[in-house]
């Protein structure tokens, strides 16, 4: 059974699709078909990006595992080409499941690693996702102590009671939780107080070119103040310039992540070092 069905090219009401629009439409549908097949057959991998302490000694304290989808030639399909189209569908849940499975296997293979993985609140009720988590935690009881799950703010606020119950049930496994895209969604502080988040990741839209944007500086300072009030670890994502990093450190963030410190890679140093040790 196909998850994504093709629509006729001239499916607009007046049948007046231009040749250029038709070509773009065909390309988009082709991409979604490839993505659907890749997700179903688990042709997905994780790229790993380090997250560093803002204060000395500036060590990486964990890595974020970012899911990547591969085309038949094993090339990465950019997430921007498909993520909006699938995020609310079963394909989105399957992609979350794939990321969780690869991430937990990676944690099991690398005992010194701490890893964060993204998920949608919609995946909480997706049985294959939960079964994947339960199976790994049963096989490796201490695995949860090195795992952080990142849930987007908009996703968490859409079903707060479900998220709160989910967090409460997983507390015994030592799993940490981060509120992703903090400040970019509809924060409800009544629910915010009840969540069991350990960290927040400030929305990237406020971080880029921060040193030159006073309005964004005010927003970031306000978000930091809220996070500190709730005693949460504060992570700044998408840090790309030294001036922005310096502002964030002065403002009191705990961790920095972005291309300034290291791009996401399929072959992180720690994986190569562990492989070398196994061969020795």
Predicted pLDDT of residue 97? 98
Distance of alpha carbon 86 from the chain centroid:
15
- What are the two backbone dihedrals, phi and then psi, of residue 188, each rounded to the nearest 5 degrees? -110, 110
Residue 57 preceded by cis peptide, ω within 30: yes
CA dihedral 55→60→65→66, nearest 10 degrees, is 60
Largest CA distance in the chain: 67
Predicted pLDDT of residue 31? 87
Predicted pLDDT of residue 18? 66
Predicted pLDDT of residue 26? 61
For residue 70 the two structure tokens come to 């591969």
Predicted pLDDT of residue 272? 79
Predicted pLDDT of residue 144? 97
Q: Which residues fall within 8 angstroms of residue 109, CB to CB, at 6 or more apart?
A: 274
**Angle, CA of 52, 53 and 58, to the nearest 5°:** 85
Structural domains of the chain in order of their starting residue, each with its CATH number: 43-279 (3.20.20.450)
- Those residues of the chain that have pLDDT short of 70 are 1-28, 280
- How far apart CA 246 and CA 253 sit, in angstroms, is 10
Predicted pLDDT of residue 158? 92
- How far apart CA 235 and CA 45 sit, in angstroms, is 24
């Amino acid at each position: 059974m196909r998850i994504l069905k093709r629509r006729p090219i001239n499916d607009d009401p007046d049948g007046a699709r231009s040749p250029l629009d038709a070509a773009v439409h065909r390309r988009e549908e082709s991409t979604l078909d490839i993505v659907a097949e890749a997700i179903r057959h688990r042709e997905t991998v994780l790229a790993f990006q380090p997250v560093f302490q803002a204060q000395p000694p500036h060590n990486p304290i964990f890595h974020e595992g970012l899911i990547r989808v591969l085309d038949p030639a094993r090339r990465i399909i950019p997430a921007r080409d498909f993520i909006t189209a699938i995020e609310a569908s079963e394909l989105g849940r399957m992609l979350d499941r794939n990321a969780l499975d690869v991430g937990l296997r990676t944690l099991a293979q690398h005992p010194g690693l701490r890893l964060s993985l993204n998920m949608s609140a919609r995946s909480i009720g997706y049985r294959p996702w939960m079964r994947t988590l339960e199976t790994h935690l049963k096989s490796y009881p201490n695995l949860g102590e090195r795992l952080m799950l990142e849930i987007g703010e908009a996703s968490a606020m859409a079903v707060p009671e479900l998220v709160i119950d989910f967090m409460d049930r997983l507390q015994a496994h030592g799993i940490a939780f981060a509120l992703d895209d903090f400040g970019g969604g509809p924060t409800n502080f009544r629910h915010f107080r009840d969540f069991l988040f350990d960290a927040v990741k400030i929305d990237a839209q406020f971080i880029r070119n921060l040193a030159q944007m006073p309005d964004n500086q005010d927003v970031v300072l306000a978000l930091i103040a809220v996070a500190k009030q709730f005693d949460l670890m504060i992570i700044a994502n998408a840090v790309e310039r030294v001036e922005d990093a310096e502002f964030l450190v002065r403002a009191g963030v705990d961790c920095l992540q972005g291309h300034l410190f290291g791009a996401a890679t399929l072959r992180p140093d720690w994986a190569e070092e562990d492989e070398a040790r196994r061969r020795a």
